[in-house]
């Protein structure tokens, strides 16, 4: 069994190899070096929390953090958000999600580079990229995404999620805020 340090080194080596293999596609990211550390930190936090769950819990094991509201529950999600597409043939599903995630990351990196003057939007893109990268690592090396944050009220459970999903959700929230509120301010300045 690997130590936490060995696992962290392995994750960062995998991230480095993944980025090196895709370097021609990520030239804009190289030009924005100060954001790479942020992306690595969020994706690293995601992988670290998943490491703790994988190495300290059995699959489907659960323990209460806040009784009646929040559990840590080890789940492997073969699908997308809320388990969508979980019933597809595993080989096709894996290939589909890996390709779609890589394409999405490339598009978001391109948008981030073109819109780098919009700080909130750039921050949003970095969060989305971080989350996508965290879940991509799971899909490549585990074949499924590790989910463990389980919120519920009574018998009604929100689908389990992870730190990467949080990063994506918060990134999308800030992106919507930026587009709705700050775009209007910028267009009013031009008038």
Per-residue pLDDT reduced to its tens digit, 155-184: 898 999 999 999 999 999 999 999 998 865
**Catalytic residue list contains 178:** no
Q: Is the pLDDT of residue 30 over 60?
A: no
The pTM (predicted TM-score) of the whole model is 0.79
What pLDDT is attached to residue 33?
74
What is the share, in percent, of the chain residues with pLDDT greater than 70?
77
Catalytic residue among 46, 138, 147, 178: 147
The residue among 21 and 73 whose pLDDT is bigger is: 73
Other CB atoms within a 10 A radius of the CB of residue 132 amount to 22
| Residue spans per domain, the chain | 4-190
pLDDT band at residue 120 using 50, 70 and 90 as cut-offs: very high
The residue whose two tokens read 């190495």 is: 55
Taking 50 as the threshold, does the pLDDT of residue 60 lie above it?
yes
Interatomic CA distance for residues 35 and 63, integer angstroms:
36
Q: What is the pLDDT of residue 10?
A: 72
Q: What is the reported pLDDT for 186? A: 53
Considering only residues 127 and 115, tell me which one the structure prediction assigns the higher pLDDT: 127
Q: Would residue 46 show up in a list of annotated catalytic residues for this protein?
A: no
Which of 46, 138, 150, 165 does the annotation list as catalytic?
165
**Lowest-confidence segment of 12-21, 61-70, 165-174 by average pLDDT:** 12-21
**Alpha carbon distance 116, 16 (integer Å):** 23
Region 115-121 average pLDDT: 88
Q: Which residues pair with 80 in a beta bridge?
A: none
pLDDT at position 21 is 54
191 vs 118, 181, 185, CA distance in Å?
Answer: 19, 16, 10
The per-residue pLDDT for 100 is 92
Higher pLDDT, 16 or 159: 159
């Amino acid at each position: 069994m690997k130590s936490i340090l060995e696992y962290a080194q392995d994750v960062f080596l995998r991230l480095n190899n993944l980025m090196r293999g895709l370097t021609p596609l990520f030239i804009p990211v190289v030009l924005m070096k100060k954001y790479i550390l942020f992306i690595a930190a969020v994706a690293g936090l995601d992988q670290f929390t998943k490491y703790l769950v994988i190495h300290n819990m059995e699959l489907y094991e659960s323990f209460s953090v806040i009784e009646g509201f929040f559990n840590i529950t080890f789940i492997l999600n073969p699908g997308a958000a809320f388990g969508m597409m979980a019933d597809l043939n595993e080989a096709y599903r894996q290939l589909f999600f890996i390709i779609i995630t890589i394409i999405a990351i490339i598009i978001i990196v391109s948008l981030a580079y073109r819109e780098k003057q919009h700080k909130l939007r750039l921050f949003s893109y970095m969060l989305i990229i971080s989350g996508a990268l965290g879940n991509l690592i799971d899909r490549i090396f585990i074949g499924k995404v590790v989910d463990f944050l389980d919120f519920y009220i009574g018998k009604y459970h929100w689908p389990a999620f992870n730190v990467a999903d949080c990063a994506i959700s918060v990134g999308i929230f800030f992106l919507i805020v930026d587009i709705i509120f700050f775009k209007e301010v910028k267009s009013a300045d031009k008038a």
